Amino acid sequence: MRYENIHKHTKYSNIFTPDCIISPEDVAKRAVELGHKTISTVEHGYAGNVFEYYDVAQKYGLKMIFGVEFYYVKDRFKKDGTNAHLLILAKNNYGKKQLTKLISEANRTGYYKKPRIDESLLFSLNPEDVVVTSTCIMSPYNLYQDESFITNCYDYFKENFYLEIQCHTHIKQVEYNQRLLELHKKYNIPFIFATDTHYIYEEDAKYRDLFLKGKKIFYPEEEGFVMDYPDPEKIFQRFEQQGVFTREQIESALQNTWIVDDFEEIKMNKEIKMPSIYPNCTHEQKIEKLKSI
């Protein structure tokens, strides 16, 4: 059963503490292998090397989905190092511009150890232009134990908000999925599936572990998680091992990733764009100013 990988990371993810060793092309090759139609730019804190993603998407006949896994805090003007994770995808070019603005604001006004957004920036987005998910176990809902975060997002983004379920068999993920299931029953918020890919095949985990060890990096919240790019059979096996969701709920979550099929194609070009401090001057007037300088 086809799904689309909306939540993945590469060597461009988390430029503050390197997170992965795979490239966008590695992800694209696996997407083609599994019959997927898209590749997302999602990285930690920003959208990665967007032009490389665009080239890779063109090369492999995939549609580029512009998205970011933002670092999120309640108030970006406070020294808050909790840095929850929040996945946001642009449905169209308007959404891409809005997410680009959030990346800028996260660095300009929200930087504390990492670039962070908060609820004022989150709810400044046009709910028609983006899709937001509850994200991984590092979500604001899980870190802050705040159910109102989920209800506020659902009230604002409506059908463009999803509860993100992942198939890791670690007990932390199982417990988190059980809480998401209760929210689903309580508010009827739909599920969406995500892999949180950090490498392609399960056996590749050791290479990432060696890389992180060499950088003296350890993520205790990820210990025991398998963050590969699995085929559907493996996904269903892992969910069955979790024992949380019904087959119907899992299938629905995978089918909901198909929303990206209807996302607008992101248009980009590589023309050099020169900003001007004299936007109201003619070209000739600009030349004269340059000569006088």
| pLDDT for 275 | 80
Average pLDDT over residues 139-164: 97
| pLDDT for 128 | 98
| pLDDT for 262 | 97
Tell me which of 255 and 293 has the higher pLDDT. Answer: 255
Give the pLDDT band of residue 202 (cuts 50, 70, 90).
Answer: very high
| pLDDT for 216 | 83
Give the pLDDT band of residue 132 (cuts 50, 70, 90).
Answer: very high
For residue 292, pLDDT over 90 is answered with yes
Average pLDDT over residues 4-12: 96
Q: What is the pLDDT of residues 259-269, one digit of tens each?
A: 999 999 998 88
| pLDDT for 276 | 85
Q: What own/partner pairs with CB < 8 Å and gap ≥ 24 does 108-114 have?
A: 109/76, 109/77, 110/73, 110/76, 110/77, 112/76, 112/78, 112/79, 112/80, 112/81, 113/16, 113/81, 113/83, 114/16, 114/45, 114/71, 114/83
Give the pLDDT band of residue 136 (cuts 50, 70, 90).
Answer: very high
Average pLDDT over residues 170-194: 97
CA–CA–CA angle 134, 137, 142 (5° rounding) = 70
For residue 215, pLDDT over 90 is answered with no
Tell me which of 277 and 92 has the higher pLDDT. Answer: 92
Give percent of the chain above pLDDT 90: 84
How far apart are the C-alpha atoms of 145 and 98, rounded to whole Å?
A: 28
How far apart are the C-alpha atoms of 157 and 58, rounded to whole Å?
A: 31
**Considering the entire predicted model, what is its pTM?**
0.91
Of the listed ranges 101-115, 201-215, 256-270, the one predicted with least confidence = 201-215
Q: What is the pLDDT of residues 31-86, one digit of tens each?
A: 999 999 999 999 999 999 999 999 999 999 999 999 999 999 999 999 999 999 99
Q: Where are the beta strands (DSSP E) in the chain?
A: 38-40, 63-65, 67-72, 84-90, 111-112, 114-117, 130-133, 161-165, 191-193
For residue 288, pLDDT over 80 is answered with yes
Average pLDDT over residues 254-282: 91
**Mean pLDDT, the chain, whole residue set:** 94
For residue 169, pLDDT over 90 is answered with yes
